Amino acid sequence: MSLAARSMTELLAAFRASDVSPVDLAHAVLDQTAATEPALNAFVVREAPEAVLAQAKAAQDRWHRGAPAGALDGIPMTIKDAIITAKWPTRSGSLTTSSEPGPDDAPAVARVFEAGAIIVGKTTTPEFGWKAVTDSPLTGISRNPWNTALTPGGSSGGAAAAVAAGHAIASIGTDAGGSVRIPAAFCGLVAMKATRGRIPAYPPSAVWTAGHIGPIARTVADTALLLDVMTRADARDWNALPPPQESYVAGLPTDGDAKGLRIAYSPTLGHAKVHPEVADLVDRAARRFEELGSHVEVVDTPLPDARDAFNVYFQTGIAHSLRRLTPEAVARLDPGLAAVLIESKAVSRETFLEAYDFQIRISREARRFHQDYDVLITPTVAVPPFAAGRLSPPGYDQANWLEWSPFTYPFNLSGQPAMSLNCGYTRAGLPVGLQLVGPMYGEAVLLRASRSFEASIAHEARRLPVFVEA
């Protein structure tokens, strides 16, 4: 297996044993990027190859001395271009943003730098993260490494495409309605939206408490390691939780353990239209948990329908964040985003406050629900990856991405942790995601359940993209 395709934990173990060096890995990642990035269009800006190699050489020297800089020393990573960085501008997929570097590194960026990661670039996003596919006026269309005719999802689509293709080993994305989980599902990866405030964020999200920072990685163990790094305290986030008392990596079972878990399985959340192949693979995953010793119960409608409330919350948040754009700037926006700004003007104060009331209600009901269940499982996305450059696949509302991705955003409102991992492939060889949702502060139980499932299908699920060309 190519070094650029290996997991972070495997690579760190190889560094420690001197079987592989950070320079070897940097060369593999740079070679893979040079070969496949033009087909994917996953980057907004890339670190110069000579700078990547110089950082890798410094990391190699530290490993040889037995003094790595931190838990990620020498690991190539990317940052979604919606997260501020002091070295590079943050364009958010827009022609209306500044090309000047940011004033500072966001908390998660600062933490991975401190841990020794090598940031190889910033990855693409739809304009201001407004939709769940990745194309923008600034960078054009990003594509899926499993089939470059298809979308990688969004809004952290460039991040997921880069990791799946071997342009990086992991990435940091944002998730305000599913934006790390959706592309992870479409690209065959693992991603987590942790409990609200678990990973400090700054500046605040345009959609207030629905916005999260989250890791995209290749394995559950890699995700746990990134959580250990990214959950460290940062005073800039007023909503940040105290750092966890225990390491997520240390608490991760070696081979997984799902015995005794109380799992609720909702195939549709009571209203979703799910593609038959997705439904079949997720149903098999639910049965697998039973084989692993969990008690699985079908629950059709575990929580109230969040569609209307989330749409109000999301649209008004984005519109508020862009309220100072001039008419000339609005004219340069993605037409779909410009339409959202117009639609949001019709939202009354009463309607917005009703959406806020719904957020309180769903958060309360989620806590009650998890008194009876440790984990809720659903599909991550209702459909397999579809054509790049489209907002929705055939058979779904062509003006509304929420219809084909109804499983992720309710948990942005409720604030509870949720993660996606691969559960198999369609007949066309495209990855399908399984979503696991836990109680507030329940990252450890999600990691335990996910690791158990991952270990049980490791021989089936860990594949590399085939790079079918458009």
Question: Quick one: which of 189, 171, 160, 165 has its CA closest to 119?
Answer: 171
Of the residues 136, 179, 420, 456, which is catalytic? 179
Active site residue 155: yes
Question: Quick one: which of 26, 32, 113 has its CA closest to 76?
Answer: 26
**How far from 426 is each of 266, 359, 422, 431, 432, CA to CA, in Å?**
20, 35, 11, 7, 7
Tokens standing for residue 268: 């549709």
Rounded Cα gap, residues 6 and 2, in angstroms: 7
- Cβ pair 380, 185 in contact under 8 A: yes
Of the residues 21, 80, 92, 420, which is catalytic? 80
Active site residue 7: no
Rounded Cα gap, residues 43 and 451, in angstroms: 30
Active site residue 87: no
Question: Quick one: which of 179, 177, 224 has its CA closest to 198?
Answer: 224
Q: Is 53 exposed, middle or buried (0-12, 13-18, 19+ CB in 10 A)?
A: middle
Of the residues 7, 155, 266, 363, which is catalytic? 155
* Residue 468, number of CB atoms within 10 A of its CB: 15
Dihedral pair phi/psi, residue 449, rounded to 5°: -65, -40
So which residues are the catalytic ones? 80, 155, 179
